[in-house]
Structure formats: structure tokens, C-alpha cells
Amino acid sequence: MFSTRMEKPADSFYRQLPKVELHAHLNGSLSVATMEKLISRKPHLNIQHSMTAIHKGQRRTLDECFQVFKVIHQLIDTEEDILMVAKDVIGEFAADGVKYLELRSTPREETHTGLTKRKYVETVIEAIRQCKQEDLDIEVRFLVAVDRRNGPQVAMETVKLAEDFMVSSDDVVVGLDLSGDPTVGHGKDLLPALLKAKNCGLKLALHMSEVPSQKEESELLLTLPPDRIGHGTFLHPEVGGSQSLVDKVRERNVPLELCLTSNVKGQSVPSYDKHHFLYWYKLGHPCVLCTDDKGVFSTELSQEYQLAATTFGLSREAVWTLSQQAIGCSFAPDHLKEKLRQRWVSLQAQASGR
């Protein structure tokens, strides 16, 4: 069993930088401390830390990454687990200087514990409410996730659930995520559910072009169009995508959620300096740095900013701009976006000692 230590924390500049996290899977964001609590609650599962995190210098195939999630799901099967996990994750993002967070998760049911999909979402919303009551310095919203592996019928049911909560959750549920193993299924089967979500006012954050074989699917999904794209690893022609895909993304000005450590450790990108962040950043296209799964990939958002800065030679001013621009890519209501922008201006003035 390898070390469960977090990789070296980011420099204080990146930790203190106010940040926006728009691509964070709840169950993939569990820290070592939270995993220890879950493992101690369920010793009969005999789960080791080494099965739930990918550390420095390690790589995993996409399939192995999804196996990690199966292990984590075994540990989270009650409302009590979900409440604890969500509160821990929100608290850790806040401690890392994240001021606005959009969590995403697929509603799950567990017949042996009585957990229903509706209760799952309600419990995440309750965790967000409790964190707000406890005056944590972070605004949190929730994206209900459709797992593409579960097919069109379940996707439609999930959209209906998300629509219900969009209306009843006091602006906490703001959108829909499409995720899951990209090698399973085809987006065309999920199009009716995604269209329904869009038509009822849910914002769409879709995992797209995670693997090279998704070119046709990406063309199709861009007709919606999505409000944000997760990863978009193989959109551009230099890695087997197409200029047509790039043109469509740029015409629609769809922001990209980019996750450096996740892509390198998950082997979809060969190295940090080859990450597609640079391709889109040089085009001036809206890019948002994200963690994806901070627990599984042993990272924090401050580390992702430091990695981008050191790898691509970004000045501190450029880093502030990148962070601030992420506000406009969020699904936050306009009044909250304005409040966040004012906060950034104030914090930057403090940081520069004016």
C-alpha cells in the first residue's frame, strides 16, 4: 500500500487566489481524511487507500480510473454518508480558496439502505444548506449528473428529477452534467433527454471528446449546444479532432472545463506541457481550470493553477485574469456573478497592498 499523503501543497499565492471550481465530481473529490472516516465505518468491505487514490508519478488507464469509482461507491450508500462526504468536500474546497463551487454527482439508489435517487439529491442540497448556515466562505451550486452508461430511459428520469429540484431548491440545482465511461453508448441516444433539460432551463455541462473515437458524437452534441464542455481533449485537429469541431466550439463560444492532472494521470494526455489548455488559451477561448476528482487524482485547485502557471509561463496577472474569467463561465445567476466579480476586485486590491 502506497503513501496516502497529499502531494506537495501549492504556494501560498495560488492557495490565497480566489478561485472558481466548475468541474468537481462529488465522489471523486473525497480527501484522505474523509476516506478514513468512511473506511472505519465499513471495515467489513476491507478497502485500502491504495484502491481509491492515484498519487505522484502514477498513471491509470481510463478503465482503471472507473474501477476506483466503483470502490468509492461501495463506501457511500446512506444519507448519513452523503451528508458527511458533501460537507467535507465543500469545506476542503473553501479551505483551498475556492469562492464558488459547482459540485456534480449522479443520483444513486441503494435498496439495502433505503437510499433513493431523490433522497440522494436532497441530502447533497442539505449539505450545501448546512455549509451556508455555518458561514463557510464559499457559494455552492449543484449539477445533477446523467451517467451515459445507464441509457436513455434513466437519462430522461434523471432530467425530470433535476427539473423538479431546479424549481424547488432555491437556485441550488442549476444544471445537468453528462458523464460516465466515454467508451460506452452514444450521445445520439441521450439527445432527447438533453434537449428536454435545455428546454426546461437547465444549463448543460457535457463531457465531450474525452476519447478519440467521439468525433461524430461531439459534432452532434454541439448542435444543442452545451453551455460548457468537460475536457474536450480530442476536439482540435492536432490530436485527431477536426477544424470543424474547433470552429463550432469557437462560434458558440462554449467554455472548456480543463483538468490538467486528471488528464495526465488518466493517460488521455501524454504530459503537462502537451495539455490542450495551451491550444485553447492561445486562441483566447474561455478556459476554466478544474480538478475533476481532487481525491482520486491527489490534487487541489490551487495546485492546478500553479501547474498551469509553471508549465505555460503564466504571469501572476494572467493567473488572476484566468481565475476571474471563470466567474462568467459559471451557471451562477447574474446577481451572484456580479457579487463574485466585485469580490475578486476587492481581493486583488488587498493582495497588491493598495
Write out pLDDT tens, residues 218-255: 999 999 999 999 999 999 998 888 999 999 999 999 99
Nearest partner of 53 among 320, 294, 311, judged by Cα: 294
Lowest mean pLDDT among 44-48, 104-108, 121-125, 179-183: 44-48
Q: How many Å is the Cα radius of gyration of the chain?
A: 19
Per-residue pLDDT at 66:
82
Give the mean pLDDT of 307-330.
97
Q: Give the residues across from 208 on adjacent strands.
A: 231
Q: Which residue has the cell 446512506?
A: 78
Q: Tell me, what amino acid is at 328?
A: G
End-to-end CA distance of the chain: 49
Q: Per the structure block, which three cell numbers stand in for 141?
A: 451550486
Q: How far out from the chain centre does Cα 310 lie?
A: 22
Q: Which of 290, 264, 286 is nearest to 103 (CA)?
A: 290
Tell me the pLDDT band of 6, cut-offs 50, 70 and 90.
very low
Distance in angstroms (rounded) separating the CA atoms of residues 136 and 22: 18
pLDDT-derived band at 307 (thresholds 50, 70, 90) equals: very high
The confidence band for 7, taking pLDDT boundaries of 50, 70 and 90, is low
In angstroms, the CA 296 to CA 28 distance is 5
Does residue 197 contact residue 174 with C-beta atoms inside 8 Å?
no
What's the Cα-to-Cα distance from 117 to each of 29, 82, 109, 157, 331, rounded to whole Å? 20, 12, 5, 10, 23
Given pLDDT bands bounded at 50, 70 and 90, which one contains residue 42? confident
**Helices 62-75 and 32-41 meet at what angle, rounded to 10?**
50
Cβ neighbors of 258 (< 8 A, separation 6 or more) are 231, 232, 275, 276, 277, 280, 287, 288, 289, 290
Phi/psi for 47 (5° steps) reads -95, 135
pLDDT of residue 354: 52
Average the pLDDT over each of 28-37, 95-104, 131-140 and give the range with the smallest value: 28-37
Cα 13 to Cα 17, 23, 84, 303, distances in angstroms: 6, 22, 30, 11
Average pLDDT over residues 328-339: 97
Q: Which residues contact 172 (CB under 8 A, 6 or more apart)?
A: 125, 128, 129, 140, 141, 142, 165
Q: What is the pLDDT of residue 49?
A: 63
Positive or negative torsion for Cα 163, 167, 168, 174 = positive
CA dihedral 322, 328, 333, 335 (to 10 degrees): 80
Give me the percent of the chain exceeding a pLDDT of 90.
81
Enumerate residues 6+ apart whose C-beta is below 8 A from 89. Answer: 24, 26, 29, 30, 31, 34, 103
Instruction: Using the structure block, give the residue that is written with the C-alpha cell 501549492.
Output: 10
The pLDDT of residue 2 is above 70? no
**What pLDDT, on the 0 to 100 scale, is given for residue 69?**
85
* Catalytic residue selected from 92, 163, 210, 300: 210
Q: What pLDDT score does 50 carry?
A: 64
Measure Cα distances from 35 to 52, 72, 291, 303, 311 in Å. 8, 9, 18, 21, 31
Q: Residue 271: what pLDDT? A: 96
Q: What pLDDT is recorded for position 1?
A: 24
> Which pLDDT belongs to residue 3?
29
Q: Mind listing the domains of the chain with CATH numbers? A: 17-348 (3.20.20.140)
Is 163 noted as a catalytic residue in this protein? no
Residue 68, phi then psi, degrees to nearest 5: -60, -45
CA distance 275 to 260: 7
pTM of the model: 0.95
pLDDT > 70 in the chain, percent: 97
pLDDT: is 56 or 117 the higher one? 117
Q: Which residue has the cell 479532432?
A: 241
Tell me the range of 47-51, 63-67, 201-205 where mean pLDDT is highest. 201-205
Reported as a single tens digit per residue, the pLDDT across 110-156 is 999 999 999 999 999 999 999 999 999 999 999 999 999 999 999 99
